[in-house]
Amino acid sequence: MKTKFLCILVALLFALPAAAANSSWTSTPGGKVRIIVDNPTEAAPEVRGAIQINLDPGWKTYWKEPGDAGVPPELDLSASTNIKGYALSFPTPHRFEDGGTQWAGYKKPVALPFTLTLADPAKPAHFTGHAFLGICETICIPVTAEFDISIDGTPSDALTKTQVSTAFGQLPAPASTAFGVRSVARDDDHLDFTADLPAGDEDIDLFVAGDGGANFGMSKLKSRDEKSAIFAVPVVSGTQAKPGPLYYTLVQGNKAVSGTITVKE
């Protein structure tokens, strides 16, 4: 009996780190959401994690810049301690058309990876707050998923490590001079993006997001030749502000790259 009890106790102890590095699932019409963290076992300036969004069939969620309508995902870390900031990343989105509106997002379960920057890597951190996003079918449901996770050197379980690593592995590749945006210039109420492309005739698309100073609509292809294209991207708000570095994802067929570019004045 003692041996059996000890085996159960050991199993429970090994199960605890997994719970410590993941939030509970938040259920909502259309799916469920949780936050997972790959808790480092040694002092590190950055910690990686992901927002897992499990969508039911027929439901969708939004990219970094939704387009004509929508709620971009974000993290609120105001209740956290020893966390200086975060960067939320996005896999390649899809373009959706609902009636007269177009927007960018995802129609299948997706994981949005993030990187936390610690104020003092030598000290434990408390990752506390909520993720806010929209999940849509014919109507959109705002979702708030709360989390309270200790970053204290307790190792995450193997599944969490794999899920976080997979989320980062599904991001677009870094842009290059052969495949990426070469320049962007203002033209009245929109921006013209000139992109370099690999040879091929696959379908292409461009998704653009601002830094908070301006918001953008969905791109429109203006022209294309064998190895380049020009996209027009409407500025839907913040037209008087000079946009800072813009984030983009450029797609050709089943390949995609991401990068940043500054407006040429």
pLDDT band at 17 (very low <50, low <70, confident <90, very high): very low
Domain enclosing residue 206, as ranges: 174-261
Do 138 and 182 belong together in one domain?
Answer: no
Answer yes or no: is 136 within a domain: yes
Do 162 and 180 belong together in one domain?
Answer: no
Per the structure, the count of domains in the chain is: 2
Do 157 and 183 belong together in one domain?
Answer: no
Do 140 and 37 belong together in one domain?
Answer: yes
Do 57 and 167 belong together in one domain?
Answer: yes
Amino acid at residue number 112:
L
Whose CA is closest to 197, among 218, 169, 226?
A: 226
Which of 119, 136, 171 terminates a domain? The answer is 171
Which of 124, 154, 171 terminates a domain? The answer is 171
CATH number of 143's domain: 2.60.40.1250
Which of 120, 144, 171 terminates a domain? The answer is 171
Tell whether the model's pLDDT for residue 262 goes beyond 80. Answer: yes
Answer yes or no: is 57 within a domain: yes
Q: Tens digits of per-residue pLDDT, 238-250?
A: 654 555 789 999 9
User: What predicted TM-score, i.e. pTM, was given to this entire model?
Assistant: 0.88
Do 209 and 132 belong together in one domain?
Answer: no
Answer yes or no: is 70 within a domain: yes
Whose CA is closest to 248, among 198, 199, 195?
A: 195
Handedness of CA 90, 95, 97, 103 (dihedral sign): positive
CATH number of 182's domain: 2.60.40.10
Do 83 and 180 belong together in one domain?
Answer: no
Answer yes or no: is 146 within a domain: yes
CA distances from 205 to 1, 118, 155, 180 (A): 64, 36, 40, 12
Q: Tens digits of per-residue pLDDT, 56-115?
A: 999 999 999 987 777 889 999 999 999 999 999 999 999 998 777 888 999 999 999 999
Do 122 and 222 belong together in one domain?
Answer: no
Question: What's the chain's length in residues?
Answer: 265
Do 147 and 56 belong together in one domain?
Answer: yes
Do 249 and 161 belong together in one domain?
Answer: no
Handedness of CA 171, 176, 180, 186 (dihedral sign): positive
Do 205 and 89 belong together in one domain?
Answer: no
pLDDT at 35: 98
Q: What angle do CA 163, 173, 164 make, to 5 degrees?
A: 10
pLDDT band at 189 (very low <50, low <70, confident <90, very high): confident
Answer yes or no: is 124 within a domain: yes
Answer for the pair 134, 71: CB distance below 8 angstroms, yes or no: yes
Do 152 and 21 belong together in one domain?
Answer: yes
